[in-house]
Each structure stands twice: as C-alpha cells, then as structure tokens.
Amino acid sequence: MRDSIVRIKGRLFVLLVAGLIAIVLALALSCSESEQPSTGRNISDSAAPDFILKDLAGEDFKLSAARGKPVLLIFLTTWCPTCRSEIPHYKDIYGIYSRRGLEIVSIDIEEPKNRVSQFAAKNQIPYKTLLDEKGRVAGAYDITGIPAMVLINRDGKVLTRKYFAIDTVLETLLEKK
C-alpha cells in the first residue's frame, strides 16, 4: 500500500514538472519576434499602414502626420519578460536618435490603459506610448511575436522590421551631421 502511494506521488511530481516545463516553453515562444510574418505577406518596402491610436494622455497619434521624419514603432506588452528587459535598449535608441529626428512610439497591444500607464511611469518611458486596445494595428503590421520593431522612412515606407538590424539601419539612416 505504501509503495503504491509513493509511486502515485512520484508520477504526480513528474507530471507537475512536465507541465511547468510546457508552460515555460509556451511563454518563451509567445514572446519572441519571428523573422517573417506568418501570413506570408511582406510589408517591407511598402507603404506603412496608416493608423490613429490614442496615447496615454488621450491624444490621437496619426502615423501619416509624422511623414517627413523616420518613425520607429516598438510593439510590446507589459507582461512580456523580453519586452521589459529591452527597455534600456529602447531608451538608448531614444537618447541617441530622437535628437536626430527619429520619432519613437511604443505600441502596447491589447492591454488596459491603467496597466500600461503604471508600466510606463514605473519604467520612466521617455517616448510616446500608444494603446492598440483591439490589436488592429499589430495585425496590420503582421506582428507575430513581441517585442517587435518596425522602422518607417521619411516617405512613409517600411524600411525594415528586422529586430536585430535596427541599430545598424538607424545609424546609416540618421548619420551624425
């Protein structure tokens, strides 16, 4: 009888560990940007889909109103560990390139305003934070993982969406004069 109980407890422990591993893997995979959109539609080198979203102050931000200067869209959520760990990098980009004319906006996907406001305040986000409450803008840009960045040139065309190439492209696009 005692051996049966020990075996059952052992099996439950194994199932618990396997379940935890599955959850960790699912979270890790859901919080990473893929190289190509899953739909097969490539929006690079095409006109950036225009949108209007509210910022945390309730003001409208219209992408096409920024035409004439490059815009970096940063798609993220407050719950994503990678998004949180990348905040110093985003702040560095802001510190270097906003003075050279780059407009940087963070687009939070499908989260309530109060949560995003607290997150932005806690992390002292210096750039504009927009609320994509229905996920429509993320959908228009084929965002399949977060964090994701989309760089739009002065003419309103998508220049790149390759996350790890952003720094190099920004340096070339916004060289010191």
Give the model's confidence band at 9: pLDDT under 50 very low, under 70 low, under 90 confident, else very high: low
Residue ranges per structural domain of the chain: 1-30, 52-173
**What does the pLDDT read at residue 86?**
95
**What does the pLDDT read at residue 47?**
92
CA distance linking residue 124 with residue 120, whole number of Å: 6
CA 94 to chain centre: 15
52-173 fold: Glutaredoxin (3.40.30)
Q: Which of 37-41, 62-66, 86-90, 119-123 has the lowest mean pLDDT?
A: 37-41
Cα-only R_g, the chain: 20
